[in-house]
Amino acid sequence: MLLAAGMAAGCAQVNEAPVEDRRGWGSTIPRVDPASLPGAENAGKPGYYTVQPGDTLIRIGLEHGHSWKDIARWSNLSNPNLIEVGQVVRVVPPGTVVAEATQGARPVATTTVQPTTLPPVGATAPVVTPVTPAAETSASSKGGDASGLGFMWPASGNLIAGFNESTNKGLDIGGKAGDPVVAAADGRVVYAGAGLRGYGHLIILKHNNTYLTAYAHNQKLLVKEDQNVKKGQTIAEMGSSDADRVKLHFEVRRQGKPVDPSRYLPAR
């Protein structure tokens, strides 16, 4: 099955990129030998992802924490506008060492485990205090984040829906059509367009190698892909594209995984 990658470069207004549809979209082409698919030799290896029905490079990039352009380049795609079900793409930078991972899951960087020396018999064992990784420690406190990004609220409206890992992967903020949507932190635009069904006119910012933020349902996009933006800069106008009302859907993604944005935002 051929699937549109849905990745036309982001324009400032309307991007008519093909949409992502988990039900599948495109023409069915029978494949006799799965090994003939691009990248098949890497299937199942950590750091690689096998394309599923309905996938687009935009979706794959969002769920692995990278720009679709980077994934296209790392995977040496001859035509990044088309990907095939069963095709294998690289979702980590070349040279990155990753641990074994389940197919479709984000790869996890390997770590070195120091050997444990047992105390002599009869000796009192030292008390070891578990150390929580800095990113997780700061994320658990209101308004903090280990990367020093200092996220701010991307819109001034009232919160109308909170984070739910199963049903709402971000926060929904109300407002009026045309209200400013601002960058939550300094970053680079890795997507600006309408290529993901359910998100409407969407902007994705990459802040560092760990964090992405997404801004959905806009009526107008004011930035382009590969543009650098500053915290507080207006990047879009709030709207109701692909939504039932005017609102901003805001996501924070840590290594591609959606996390509760309220853990990173200052108290109101």
Rounded Cα distance, 199 and 180, in Å: 17
End-to-end CA distance of the chain: 48
DSSP string spanning 208-226?
A: SSSEEEEEEEEEEE---TT
**C-alpha 237 chain-centroid distance:** 21
> What average pLDDT does the chain have?
77
Long-range contacts of 30-36 (CB under 8 A, 24+ apart): 31/86, 34/86
One-letter amino acid of 263: R
Distance CA 99, CA 134 (A): 21
What integer pLDDT is reported at residue 99 of this predicted model? 61
**The pLDDT of residue 75 is above 60:** yes
Residue 76 has, within 13 A of its CA and on its CB side, a CA count of 3
- Name which of 12-21, 44-53, 56-65, 86-95 the model is least confident about: 12-21
Residue 143 has pLDDT above 60, yes or no: no
- Cα four-point dihedral sign 212, 218, 222, 225: positive
Q: What are phi and psi of 25, to 5 degrees?
A: -155, 130
User: 97-101: long-range contacts at Cβ-Cβ below 8 A with a sequence spacing of 24 or more?
Assistant: 98/46, 98/47, 99/46, 100/46, 101/46, 101/47
3-state secondary structure of 184: coil
Question: What domains does the chain contain, in order, with CATH numbers?
Answer: 2-90 (3.10.350.10), 141-263 (2.70.70.10)
For residue 6, the model assigns a pLDDT of 47
Task: Please give the pLDDT value at position 116.
Answer: 35
The token duo for 81 is 């506008």
- In this prediction, residue 33 carries a pLDDT of 66
Instruction: Tell me the residue length of the chain.
Output: 268
Burial category of 170 from C-beta neighbours within 10 Å (exposed 0-12, middle 13-18, buried 19 and up): buried
Tens of pLDDT, residue by residue over 228-265, are 999 999 999 999 999 999 999 999 999 999 999 999 99
- 195 against 96, higher pLDDT: 195
Give the separation between CA 205 and CA 236, rounded to whole angstroms: 12
Q: What is the pLDDT of residue 79?
A: 83
Residue percentage of the chain with pLDDT more than 90:
47
Query: What are the tens digits of pLDDT across the range 33-70?
Result: 667 788 888 888 999 999 998 888 899 988 998 988 89
More confident site: 35 or 179: 179
H-state helical runs in the chain: 57-64, 68-74, 134-139
Return the pLDDT at 22. Answer: 36
